[in-house]
Chains A and B, each alone.
Chain A
Amino acid sequence: MTHEKIILAVITMNGGRVAGGAPIFICQTKEEMEQIAANLEAILDGIAHEVAEGLLIIVKH
């Protein structure tokens, strides 16, 4: 099965709000989140999207 779009990683400051299949990175600060998201974006060739305040996902399009 192939996926058109897939969540590769979740970066959040609130670990209690997310669960599920994708790797979850729990951070303390917004800066830390942004840094991890920027690295993951470059490594995974995906786009960092802001789903809600303090919740970023990396999506492969």
Chain B
Amino acid sequence: MNTFKFADLKIGMTEEFHTESVRGGAAVHTVETDALEDTGGEVGVPLEISQERLDLFRDLTGDISPIHIDEDYARERGFAGRVCYGMLTSAFYSTLVGVYLPGKYALFQEAHISMAKPVYIGDRLSVTGKITDLNEALKRITIKARIRNQRGETVSRATLAVGVSE
């Protein structure tokens, strides 16, 4: 986990982390903090959407909308299969903020999210975030974030506001 405090942060600062999830298994992640590379101020987190994750989200939230849990229904609606919950995909913004950018000293305040394309079981996602504004008086940062699938298509865009401890 990163431990950036407000004074450590800069617009466009560069960090990158990799996380791997195990297909068909529990949400097992390995974090390779030694694999840093310059990506122009963005943080990347490759992830895979599993059936287990959809089912866990259903159980956690009680959202039993058939588009997420019924393969046949989803196909009748014109989708390629069960559609991942948009809020499940969006939940990775929480990981971005709370673990990577800025990490430990974050207080997630706002998220404005657009769910641009459907996400399906087996999709591998990468989450990127870039600091675009720092408010010194409020000790608050703005992050432009984006989630892409394995084909590089943007499936979600967000503007995040985060308070950061001094």
Q: Check if A and B associate.
A: no
Contact surface of B with A, Cβ cutoff 8 Å: none
Q: Interface on A for B, CB 8 Å cutoff?
A: none
